[in-house]
């Protein structure tokens, strides 16, 4: 499944990193601890987090993640947006909290 399909299915807002919308998704990872994501997320995962600073993009780029979903309508920092456009990693936004967006994402990715 592509990021663009997830965006329309889950009604996500694209904040930045538009060039990465065709990224292929392999699964998801949910954490607000950067070392946890660094150690355990897999290539092509969508990362659900409440962190909004630019280090989330740095971690995503190093791990070749497909996209970042920021929860509860939190606004990413300006340098997060800039960096995501450079790295082509989409930063997406939802009004839902982590529990609810993750439940929907899980259901969507496991629906066959």
Partner 1 sequence: MQIRHKIAGGDFTRAGNVASAVKKILQQLNIDHKQSKRIVIALYEGEVNVVAHAYSGVVDVDIDSEKVRITISDKGPGIKDIEQAMEEGFSTATPQVREMGFGAGMGLSNMKRNSDFMEIRSVPGEGTLVELINYIRPDAS
Residues binding partner 1 (CB under 8 A): 32-36, 38-39, 43, 49, 51, 53-56, 58-59, 61-63, 79
Neighbours of 24 (CB within 10 A): 10
Closest to partner 1 by CB, 63 or 96 = 63
- Angle of helix 3-10 relative to helix 98-109, nearest 10 degrees? 120
Task: Indicate the helix (H) or strand (E) that contains 109.
Answer: helix 98-109
Closest to partner 1 by CB, 14 or 87 = 87
Closest to partner 1 by CB, 56 or 96 = 56
Min CB(94)–partner 1 separation in Å: 19
At 14, list the tokens. 């694209």
Min CB(51)–partner 1 separation in Å: 5
Min CB(46)–partner 1 separation in Å: 17
Closest to partner 1 by CB, 2 or 53 = 53
Interatomic CA distance for residues 13 and 57, integer angstroms:
17
- Angle of helix 55-62 relative to helix 78-87, nearest 10 degrees? 20
């Amino acid at each position: 499944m592509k990021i663009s399909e997830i965006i329309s299915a889950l009604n996500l807002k694209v904040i930045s990193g538009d060039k990465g919308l065709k990224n292929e998704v392999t699964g998801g990872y949910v954490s607000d601890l950067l070392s946890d994501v660094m150690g355990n997320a897999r290539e092509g995962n969508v990362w659900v987090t409440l962190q909004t600073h630019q280090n989330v993009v740095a971690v995503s780029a190093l791990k070749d993640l497909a996209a970042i979903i920021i929860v509860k309508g939190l606004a990413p920092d300006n340098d997060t947006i800039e960096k995501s456009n450079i790295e082509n990693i989409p930063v997406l936004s939802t009004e839902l909290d982590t529990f609810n967006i993750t439940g929907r994402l899980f259901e969507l990715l496991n629906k066959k």
